[in-house]
Amino acid sequence: MYLKALEIQGFKSFPEKTVLTFGESITAIVGPNGSGKSNIADAICWVMGEQSTRALRGGKMEDVIFGGTQKRSQVGFAEVSLIIDNTEEILPAEGSEVMVTRRYYRSGESEYYINRRSVRLKDINELFMDTGLGREGYSIIGQGRIDEILSVKSEERREVFEEAAGISRFRHKKEEAERK
C-alpha cells in the first residue's frame, strides 16, 4: 500500500487543480519557505477525515479553502482526492486502487466519497482504521505529536498501540454496540 497520487483543488494555497503523483520512490518534498509543503501534508490529513482545525493549522474549517490573493479571488470550495495503491488489499475497499475524496463548501457543507461513491465521515474513519493511516494513525507525525504522545494519560497512549497492533477496529465495534 502506498500513496499513488494527490489531487488538490481550492485547498489552501492551491486554487487550481493540482495533481501530485508520488509512485513508490518519493521520500521527501522540498521547496522554499511558504511554497506549500505543509499544505500538502495538511491536504493528506484533511482528506483522511481530520476534523481538528488546530491540527490543520487554521482557526476554522473555512480556512482550508483558498482565500484569495492580490491577484486571484477566493474560491467557493476545497476538494482533495487521495489515490492509494491497494493491491495488497490492506484497505477494506474494492479495487486495486482506492480513491478517497473530501469536498467542503464555504456554506459549511461537507461531502465524502470512496471510489466516487458518496459516503459518511464514519466510512472514511472505518476505511483507515487499523492501517496506521487516518486520523488516529501514526503514519503522519506532526510537529509536537511525539511530545503529545509521551505526555498523555496511559489510556490514551494505549490507543496508539491499539492502532499499531491492528485492534482498534474491534474496540470501536464493541463501543458502538454498547451505545446501542
Cα of 178 vs its chain's centroid, Å: 28
Which range binds ligand ATP by CB under 6 A, 33-41, 114-122, 130-138, 152-160? 33-41
Phi then psi for 84, rounded to 5 degrees?
A: -115, 135
Among 25, 34, 154, 178, binds ligand ATP (CB under 6 A): 34
Per CB under 6 A, 101 contacts ligand ATP: no
Per CB under 5 A, 13 contacts Mg ion: no
Which range binds Mg ion by CB under 5 A, 34-42, 58-66, 98-106, 172-180? 34-42
Per CB under 6 A, 13 contacts ligand ATP: yes
Count residues binding ligand ATP (CB under 6 A): 14
Among 1, 38, 105, 132, binds ligand ATP (CB under 6 A): 38
Q: What does 169 interact with, of Mg ion, ligand ATP, none (CB < 5 to 8 A by kind)?
A: none
Q: Which is nearer to ligand ATP, 23 or 67 (CB)?
A: 67
Q: How many C-beta atoms surround the C-beta of residue 153 within 10 A?
A: 7
Q: Which is nearer to Mg ion, 66 or 112 (CB)?
A: 66
The annotation places the binding site for ATP at 32-39
Q: Could you list the residues that contact ligand ATP (CB under 6 A)? A: 12-13, 31, 33-39, 63, 65-67
Q: Could you list the residues that contact Mg ion (CB under 5 A)? A: 38
